[in-house]
Amino acid sequence: MFDNNFLIPFLLTLFAGLATGIGSLIAFFAKRTNKRFLSFSLGFSGGVMMYVAFVELFQEARIGFITEMGEKMGMLTTVLCFFGGIFLICIIDKLIPSGENPHEIRSVEKMSEKPPKDAKMMRVGLITALGIAIHNFPEGIATFVSASEQLSLGVAIAIAVAIHNIPEGIAVSIPIYFATGSRRKAFLLSFLSGLSEPLGAVIAYLILTPFITPCLMSGILAAVAGIMVFIAIDELLPAAREYGEHHIAIYGIIAGMGVMAFSLLLLN
């Protein structure tokens, strides 16, 4: 399966990961955060993720497991893999201090409060870059595997992941810029932090390929669904409260679900 479909899933994963570079560009040229647009965009991404997780990935995993293991055991295994994905990303999230966690969303203004040439700011930027790399790794596997299984799902996941990677790019570039005074260095580190997603795709291709079975694929899809739900609940939906645009974010969630539903109907 992967041998014949490596390039497109890999390019989708690369696109999603390098969206962190877009965040660093926005940070350089935006004096103030566009709260309405950012709230809607993050809500849209969350809506896409939740719809894909529950309507597509979870259901595909359930059908795969039931086909191989029977109704009761198949459903139980699907649920266990789903919560296993949540547990995995939750552990990764807990390993990173909240103040330096890329899932703790901050605006351009808040990230710009410290003066230039600040060693502490440099440390914050570097640790945030490392944190984003750790978070992006399983997302890269998720995007690649989903695109290899069903291209329309891979496109949807890549777009959703790319949108939520943009504020992560801001979180890396701003402190590094104000610590060093170098836009180039800030952009480069932000850009590189997103490369863990295509790295996850390559590792998935090289390591998982020989062991792919219908049950393993179903388990991966269920775990990916759990990871996406956690990201949406932990990061994207709280962005409405952070940016003070609750209803705008809700509209974004509904729009994301609607667009995803109709696009999957057209693509399938």
pLDDT in tens, the chain (268 residues): 445 568 888 988 989 888 888 877 876 676 565 667 767 777 777 887 788 889 888 998 999 999 999 999 999 999 999 999 999 888 877 776 555 444 555 554 554 454 444 565 566 666 666 666 766 777 788 788 878 877 877 887 888 788 777 777 776 777 677 777 777 888 888 888 888 888 888 888 888 767 778 888 888 889 888 888 887 888 777 766 666 567 888 888 898 888 878 866 765 5
Q: Is residue 240 part of a domain?
A: yes
- Report how far Cα 143 is from the mean position of its chain's Cα atoms: 9
Query: In 3-state terms, what secondary structure has residue 90?
Result: helix
Q: Is residue 62 part of a domain?
A: yes
Report the chain's terminal Cα–Cα distance, integer Å: 19
Q: Is residue 2 part of a domain?
A: no
Tokens of 231: 């990201």
Q: Is residue 1 part of a domain?
A: no
Largest CA distance in the chain: 62
In this prediction, residue 77 carries a pLDDT of 96
For residue 56, give the DSSP letter: I
Q: Is residue 248 part of a domain?
A: yes
Range of the domain at 45: 7-267
Domain count, the chain: 1
In this prediction, residue 9 carries a pLDDT of 87
Per the listing, tokens 């969206």 go with 19
- Please report, as a single letter, which amino acid is at residue 62: R
Q: Is residue 56 part of a domain?
A: yes
Nearest to 29 by CA among 183, 189, 178, 192: 183
Question: How many residues are there in the chain?
Answer: 268
CB 167 within 8 A of CB 105: yes
* Cα-only R_g, the chain: 18
What pTM did the predictor assign?
A: 0.66
Angstrom CA distances, 149 to 48, 172, 259, stand at 18, 32, 21
71-109 core/surface letters (b: 16 or more CB in 10 A; e: else) = eeebeebbbebbbebbeebeebbeebeeebbbbbbbbbe
CB 30 within 8 A of CB 237: no
